[in-house]
Amino acid sequence: VIYTSGSTGKPKGVMISYRSLCGLYYVMLHDIFSQLPRTRLNVSVNAPFLIDVSVGQYIALLMGHKITLIPENVRTSPQELINFLNEQKVQVFDCVNSQLKSLLREGLIENKENTLIALLQAGEAIDNKTWKTISSPGDIRFFNIYGPTEATVYSTWCEVTGASQSPTIGLPVTNYQSYILDEQMNHVPLGVFGELCIGGVGVARGYLNKAELTADRFIPNPFSFNGGDRLYRTGDIVRFHHNGQIEFKGRADNQVKIQGNRIELDDVEHQLMQHAEIQDAVVLAKETKASEKSLVAYYIPKNGTPLLHEEIFLFMQQKLPQYMIPHIFIPIPELPKNPNGKLDLKKL
């Protein structure tokens, strides 16, 4: 049993079979490490043991690789972390997108003492700015990996290259299937958004002591000829590109309705981050007065100096219709993280 990170609510115990862990071993061996030099590598354990990504990191031991545990006080300091990776000669490093952005700001790519040959980004959606930064050829190969705890860590993957102009989560890993379905569980046409449902060896048994939730999220696989096969409904909205790559849009529950208008918070965040003086941003729908919801934007100024409200508002007016523009813009020094290193929306 391993618990979800709880970034969207109370953590849930997910029941993983040892068969699924064997499947994860094969995914790591066949899909990820087969892309790297076939030598003994120094692999970091950056995630806390409480969360699923750490399983994929210490499974590297089974392949004969060395693992280096990163101390907690080092994990939270980008410059100290870069120094630690260099000193320990780490070659393969895992992290979430928010940590990756901090490392890039501290000069991870430009660092002359760098020993990394591969960086695996997983656990959070990658944004356009970061994708473009890491897509240029260099000494470090970047991989974008997607997978919920309920599907045993990794479900899709791709190498980040200049061939794709915008982020994708790639193709299904070995022995997994990805289906994009509508509300009636039918396949959606190419290029149309739907819910990502995962099948294959990594699908968990269900949630611990939550039979009703298990029945809702783990359903019989209508596309399988093997009796008993199930799909995991992720709640993530995605679509297929013409080349088979999967584009991640966001959570199904990240859509809000304000004054009758449906708004995708991810779309508002994307436009806000196009501003040259904004380093990062998060948009939430919050009750401000009289139980009415309004959009509130939290942003990190690039040079530490807050922007004028009118300046941001005018910028957003050129990008979005009026009802999608946040009413409040709040400058913050950094985005809050939970103990697992992921964005902590509750603190905002």
Residue-wise pLDDT for 87-109, tens only, equals: 999 999 999 888 898 899 899 99
Average pLDDT, the chain: 89
Look at residue 98 in the predicted model and tell me its pLDDT. 84
Is the pLDDT at 68 greater than 70? The verdict is yes
Residue-wise pLDDT for 160-201, tens only, equals: 987 777 899 999 999 999 999 999 999 999 999 999 999 999
Q: Which residue has the higher pLDDT, 55 or 330?
A: 330
The residue type found at 13 is G
* Residues present in the chain in total: 348
Confidence band, pLDDT 50/70/90 cuts, at residue 259: low
Q: Please give the model's pTM, rounded to 2 decimal places.
A: 0.79
Mean pLDDT along residues 249-258: 76
Is the pLDDT at 6 greater than 60? The verdict is no
User: Which tokens in the block code for residue 236?
Assistant: 């993530």
